[in-house]
């Protein structure tokens, strides 16, 4: 079940992050304090996914400019249970919201070692690699900039 995200639910997800997402947050933000993460994640529309009553993920996006949004997704170790529903929601709802707001590009930045995220974004959502930013992660790891562009084609 997809629901609007609140701070308490985000805190639950952060308390049970899968290791790859924790590594990525540390590399991208440099700070794993719940307040810092909540400030970043709750700047725009955001949702949670529950499976059998248990929250398994939080995801959303925020505007970088009028025409560009930055999307994000964080999951617990049980995120795979919610991926079909999250994928369907993003494929169906994000384009409607983006079109209504005049958004042209959805960006994601992700450390190169987070292979599962890259496979999901490129294989299921239609993102493409735009550039690899060498040594730009807080941990010195390279960061991929992936984009999903209007007209929001999905595989």
Read off the pLDDT band of 132 (50, 70, 90).
very high
**How many other CB atoms are there within 10 angstroms of residue 65's CB atom?**
10
Which range is least confidently modeled, 49-58, 118-127, 129-138?
129-138
CA dihedral (34, 37, 38, 39) in degrees, to 10, reads 130
The predicted pLDDT at position 116 comes to 92
Stronger pLDDT, 25 or 50, i.e. the higher one = 50
pLDDT at 38 over 90: no
The answer, yes or no, to whether residue 145 has pLDDT greater than 90, is yes
Q: Band of the pLDDT at 31, cuts 50, 70, 90?
A: confident
Confidence of residue 4 (pLDDT cuts 50, 70, 90): very high
pLDDT at 13 over 80: yes
Q: So what's the architecture of 2-149 in CATH? A: 3-Layer(aba) Sandwich (3.40)
CA 50 to chain centre: 16
pLDDT tens digits for range 75-107:
999 999 999 999 999 999 999 999 999 999 999
Q: Which residue has the tokens 């529950």?
A: 50
- Taking the domains of the chain in order of start, what are their residue ranges? 2-149
Q: For the chain, give the mean pLDDT.
A: 93
Summarize the confidence of residues 21-45 as an average pLDDT.
86
Structure tokens at 49: 């996914």
pLDDT of 115-130, one tens digit each? 999 999 999 999 999 9
Main-chain phi, psi angles of 71, to 5 degrees: -95, 160
């Amino acid at each position: 079940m997809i629901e609007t995200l609140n701070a308490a639910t985000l805190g639950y997800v952060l308390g049970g992050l899968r290791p790859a997402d924790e590594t990525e947050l540390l590399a991208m933000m440099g700070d794993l304090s719940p307040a810092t993460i909540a400030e970043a994640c709750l700047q725009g529309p955001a949702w949670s996914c529950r499976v059998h009553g248990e929250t398994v993920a939080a995801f959303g996006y925020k505007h970088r400019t009028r025409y560009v949004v930055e999307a994000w997704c964080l999951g617990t170790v049980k995120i795979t249970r919610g991926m079909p529903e999250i994928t369907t929601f993003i494929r169906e709802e994000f384009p409607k919201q983006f079109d209504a707001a005049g958004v042209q590009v959805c960006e994601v930045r992700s450390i190169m070692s987070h292979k599962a995220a890259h496979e999901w974004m490129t294989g299921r959502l239609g993102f493409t690699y735009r550039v690899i930013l060498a040594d730009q992660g807080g941990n010195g790891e390279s960061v991929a900039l992936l984009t999903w562009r209007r007209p929001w084609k999905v595989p």
